[in-house]
Amino acid sequence: MFQQNLLSDLGSTDDLLIALTNSISVDENLTDTEMLSLAYSLRGLNRNSLNFLTAPVAGLGREGSQSVVYLDTARAAPMWGYLKNDTLDEHLTEFGPDLLPEVPY
């Protein structure tokens, strides 16, 4: 995404969102305009300052015929709070098992 300027060029960002929306599900209340605005707001993001985490997982299971992942809501609550307050980077050590290894460029 960084090498192709997908977040700094509005047309490329729109193309990226179209590709992503074919592969992901989001809340039905999130509009295309809001997604585009969110993606465009990331245009100044520096890849060297990114950390990747998974949401804390309690286990796997099935809901009817669907395979599901159950979130560990107790472990996830602080993570969501830190995200909301933009302080997650200050608390990364609390989520050691959920940190992903550095992603190659």
CA–CA dist 24, 43 (Å, integer): 21
- The Cα-based distances of 6 to 14, 49, 69 in angstroms read 9, 17, 30
Q: What is the pLDDT of residue 68?
A: 94
More confident: 27 or 57: 57
**Residue 60: helix, strand or coil by DSSP?**
strand
- 14 falls within a domain: yes
Q: What is the pLDDT of residue 3?
A: 59
- 103 falls within a domain: no
Average of pLDDT values for 93-103?
77
Give tens-digit pLDDT for 34-46. 877 877 777 777 7
Q: Is there a single domain that holds both residue 37 and residue 64?
A: no
What domain range includes position 87?
53-98
Q: How confident is the model at residue 11 (pLDDT cuts 50, 70, 90)?
A: low
- Any idea what the Cα angle at residue 17 is, between residues 99 and 46, rounded to 5°? 45
CA 28, chain centre distance (Å): 17
Q: Is there a single domain that holds both residue 40 and residue 59?
A: no
- 105 falls within a domain: no
Contact 33, 63 (CB under 8 A): no
More confident: 94 or 62: 62
Please state the pTM of the whole predicted model. Answer: 0.55
More confident: 69 or 100: 69
Give tens-digit pLDDT for 34-89. 877 877 777 777 777 777 888 889 999 999 999 999 999 999 999 999 999 999 88
Work out how many domains the chain is built from and give that number.
2
- 58 falls within a domain: yes
